[in-house]
Chains A and B, each alone.
Chain A
Amino acid sequence: MRTEPDLIVIGGGSAGMAAALEAKKQGIEKILILETDPYLGGVLRQCIHTGFGLHTFGEDLAGPEYAARFIRQVEEAGIGVLLSTPVLEVTEDLTVRAMSRDEGYLELHPKAIVAATGCRERSAGTIAIPGTRPAGVLTAGTAQRYLNIEGYHAGKRVVILGSGDIGLIMARRLTLEGAKVLLVAELMPKSGGLKRNIVQCLEDFDIPLLLSTTVVEIHGRERVEGVSLAPVDENLTPILEKKWRVDCDTLLLSVGLVPETELFQAAGAPVEKNNGLRVDENLMTGIPGLFACGNAVKVHDLVDNVTLQGVKAGGFAAAFIKGE
């Protein structure tokens, strides 16, 4: 039987690892990180581009390097980690029920919990693009995983909808791997991506960014054969008279990220409009003893800021456990 941890961190990405390390620094001995995937580091593992750690380490690191530094620290600090351990339920009285490949069914009663579950990508289904539903419509993050982890192309002639950072990063990445990125369409009159990404990922590769434009129809029977695009008016309504078709085999979506917080909502924790957990100035949610950090609170542009918030949440959780 596992001894009861004082602190459980749900999610072993950048936010969760930072929180666990800080709590340990503040004197909390019994800490357990529960991670659904079979590895620590979360989405950083597939972010093989650089741009990580400029603030935290003063260095320009790739995602896996940034994650590796924290994974090493977690190991050195002797923080408990259970991988392949999805959490099934969290309750208002801080009971955590989880399944672990290695330890079976777990019911734990920590003194505090840090929610560090990150975010998910908005899907084609969520934004209800008209047309067919063939293979070849996928989110930028899924394509990134196929390319960087599995070593496979998800498409050769690609249209990207949405100019979020993952979409921009993937435009460059796909181009470098020999795919043709035809264009990036953005519904809004300006891109939500970082300026440096627009320059380095689109402009440097002559990939057009069409603002105030959206995909109005997906074509294709088994595989995407093309998409129809149209400009939108000031109410973001497509002007269908001006639509045109582009032949492509893939539609990549970078249309936003949503905090992954349903586990805590089910326990009664309130969320903001963005689906992020509502937190007070101590990063505590509506449930006493349940703290939150990283993209589960709000989607961050930079991992360094996620780490910073993780450190804070870990500190506040430690103080809570010590009764401060």
Chain B
Amino acid sequence: MEDVIVIGGGVVGCLTLRALASWKLRVRLIEKQYDLASGATMANSAIVHAGYDPEPGTRKARFNAEGNRLYPALARELDFLFLPTPSLVTAFGEEQEETLEKLLARGRENGVEGLSILRGEELFRAEPRLSEKVTAALRAPTAGITEPWSVAITAAENAADNGALLNLGEEVTGLSRLPDGILVTTDKGEYKARAVVNAAGVWADRIHDMLLPHAFSIRPRLGQYYLLDRKVGDLVKNTLFACPTREGKGVLLSPSVHGKLLIGPDAREVSDRELTPTDAEGLRFVRESAARFLREPLPMNLTIRTYAGIRPTPDTGDFIVGKTDVPGFYQAAGIESPGLASAPAIARELSETVARDLGAAKREDFNPFRRKQIRLNRMSEEEKRELISRDSRYAVIVCKCEKVSEAEIVDAIHRNAGARSVKGVKKRVGAGFGRCQAGFCQPVVVSILARELGIPKDQVLYDGPGSEILKGKVK
């Protein structure tokens, strides 16, 4: 019997698991996909929003502002990449400037600090390449950029370091009430738990409906992006937004934590909850929408990748967080934007509620710090010199574009919640994220995975089961 089972290994599920692991509770996470962070967490704008956008009084507003404040400390504990990067919501003309004033008031009500409206020289000093047609911008200095999948993976690793169990590639097929808890049925077995947390992302409504009458629907939406070469990663210093509309925050232009340039997304409702295809029309919309931010044309010829991500948009308009009518059944559902920013606050509140209800005490031996990850490509000359003199394996570069060493990949495979696929390696250490898109390094990564996992090369997966890269030996 488990104390708590968390369903879903995205950013919300993983952070909740970690928060629960800080209490005297036996906790387990069940994730349908082969790797953590495979749904909405994998492909989104990667922005830790400041919190001026959500309507005051909503859960979105509260969790966003709170979650944003938790990020710097969380990034230190878990050692994921987080870079404070101000947001600029741009106004083109008087009408939109009124929207900025509304956002400013809203942000202040939500408790967002440091907001100001920039105009004239001040505005163009903050963002020198900004189009002259921009008349004013709301600046939010507390916004940041991160690697969403790393937030989830590092949290799960840290939870597992503290004793949490991870069941990956296992699908929850049923939930039923027991006198003293909930029975979780999966495609591999059965688990009894005193409490269950539904953090199933795009599937959260289906999980909910296994125990309760239908109450909300997830209306998955797809958003598409362009990623541009690091040569133009410094084109903008801030994350640039258009004025939000009913449809959402619109297309943004942002530096990425890897020093590249991110452009997107569009928004399209889709029926398939897991397939994330791009389409020519949507990509054109993204290109054209982003083109007006700067006074120069965007260097789309330096595109290194286009991709799409899914968002678990709820039909209720707000996050669904907390207890349900079934004792022991808790939810964090419909966590669309600003879900990434909100996730740490949702995890904290939810775990406290669950722990209180279960009468659990705090653990004194919980270690919130994940073992530091060596990142060669972020080291100074002196640090590199020292590292390589200590361990020459770090001089064996596998990913030439991003300068990722073999030792970093091996470490990522053998950690808790470690990489088991080529994409898993990419998510954890960035090999293959660069301008050649793994053309050079994929065969080497396949060899390393085969060796470290003790499997033949043609069983090495790109991502999930069925994604074997190689089709057998040559005769």
Binding site for B on A (CB under 8 A): 36, 84-86, 88, 97, 99-102, 104-105, 120-121, 123-126, 128, 130-136, 138-139, 141-142, 145-147, 149-156, 177-178, 216-218, 221-223, 249-250, 262, 265
Contact = CB atoms under 8 A, between A and B. Distances in A.
B463 interface: yes
Contacts of A250: 471
B280 A104 contact: no
A150 B474 CA distance: 9
Given A142-B439, A146-B443, A150-B457, A132 B276 contact: yes
B195 to A, nearest CB: 33
Nearest to B274: A221
A222 B303 contact: no
Contacts of B305: 125
B304 A123 contact: yes
B278 interface: yes
B385 interface: yes
Size range of the interface on B? 35 or more
Interface of A is mostly: mixed
A316 B389 CA distance: 36
A169 to B, nearest CB: 16
Interface in B238-273: none
A36 B400 contact: yes
Nearest to A84: B396
Contact of A125 (B231, B306, B381, B468): B306
B117 interface: no
Interface string B434-475: 011111101100110000000001100111111111111111
Given A130-B277, A147-B474, A125 B385 contact: no
A36 B436 contact: no
A131 B277 contact: yes
B392 A102 contact: yes
A133 B307 contact: yes
A154 B442 CA distance: 12
B62 interface: no
Contacts of A100: 395
Given A36-B400, A99-B384, A130 B283 contact: yes
A138 B231 CA distance: 24
B472 A153 contact: yes
B388 interface: yes
A322 B424 CA distance: 51
B442 A138 contact: yes
A90 to B, nearest CB: 14
A234 to B, nearest CB: 18
Contact of B471 (A145, A155, A216): A155
Contacts of A221: 274-275, 466
B395 A262 contact: no
